[in-house]
Amino acid sequence: MKPLRTASCFLIAISLILFVLVRQSSISLPASIKHRTIAVDGIERSYRIVIPDKKTTGTRRPLLVALHGALDTTDEMAAYTQLDRLAVEKNFLLVYPQGKNLNWHPLIPHDNPDVAAADILFIDRLCDDLTETLEADPKRIYVAGVSMGGAMCTLLLVRRSERFAGAVCNCGWLPDPLGKEPFNTKNKCPILFYSGTEDRQVSSQQVQDAREAFEKAGHPTQLRTIQGFGHGWAVKHGINEEIWTFLSPCHLP
């Protein structure tokens, strides 16, 4: 029983740490941060939305869709990325969709090519809703994902490139079998890829393969390799400022 007790105590400690991090990530920020749901084909899907208090007159604000990694909640992603603070500083709308069972689809099975259709529809409807209700700028919707969220990011770009003005894939990959054959995307949005030299979960080759597939499809891409960094969101390496510098000039025609 002792190992079980030790494991339970460890999980409780981790949960408490994450709770504190989430509280610290949003405390005193001049923004409205809410957890909401949206019905998609009769199924309730949840998301976390950050609405900076700063008002804009006659100007729609950009929207960043942030896709969490495997087994993460939206609050946990907010804590480890510190994107809430960036949204307030740069005055853009920020939404964290919650994956079903805390996950996205890492690959596309041959016998179920539409396995991710419900998630794609969820994000489509979410962007439509926020464009209408919060006046997000439909020409400046961006997507960024980390790890499995990075894989979902590349999948979205293959299937819904016309929706996004720019994208960031952080330690993510292109789900199989996408990329094994050339694909055609409707909008050639710019994509910024990140890879850590010490990442033992997603290899630099997987990231490079994804980048090359999108370059062949006509997308302008950049790759930022972070020396000595492993798997995750490199806040201390200035990733947040970098991604906004990359994304903010991007807009749809």
pLDDT in tens, 23-34: 455 568 999 999
Residue indicated by tokens 């709770």: 19
Residue of higher predicted confidence among 238 and 27 = 238
Residue of higher predicted confidence among 137 and 27 = 137
Q: How confident is the model at residue 246 (pLDDT cuts 50, 70, 90)?
A: very high
What's the rounded mean pLDDT across residues 195-202?
A: 98
DSSP string of 137-156, one letter each residue: EEEEEEEEEETHHHHHHHHH
Here the tokens at position 76 are 């946990």
- For the cut 50, the answer to whether the pLDDT of residue 7 exceeds it is no
Please tell me the predicted confidence (pLDDT) of residue 12. 46
Whole-angstrom distance, CA of residue 28 vs CA of residue 30: 6
Please tell me the predicted confidence (pLDDT) of residue 62. 98
Here the tokens at position 43 are 């199924």
Q: 206 and 223 in contact (C-beta within 8 Å)?
A: no
Here the tokens at position 134 are 């919060």
The CA R_g of the chain, rounded to the nearest whole Å, is 18
- By CB atoms closer than 10 A (0-12, 13-18, 19+), residue 109 is exposed
Q: 192 and 222 in contact (C-beta within 8 Å)?
A: yes
Please name the CATH architecture into which domain 30-247 falls.
Answer: 3-Layer(aba) Sandwich (3.40)
Q: How confident is the model at residue 160 (pLDDT cuts 50, 70, 90)?
A: very high
Which letter does DSSP use for residue 36 in this model? E
Which letter does DSSP use for residue 57 in this model? S
Here the tokens at position 148 are 């499995």
- For the cut 50, the answer to whether the pLDDT of residue 4 exceeds it is no
Q: How confident is the model at residue 58 (pLDDT cuts 50, 70, 90)?
A: confident
With 0.75 as the threshold, say if the pTM is over it.
yes
Residue indicated by tokens 């330690």: 171
- For the cut 80, the answer to whether the pLDDT of residue 134 exceeds it is yes
Domain boundaries, the chain: 30-247
Q: 69 and 149 in contact (C-beta within 8 Å)?
A: yes
Residue of higher predicted confidence among 49 and 20 = 49
What residues are paired with 192 via a beta bridge? Answer: 168, 222
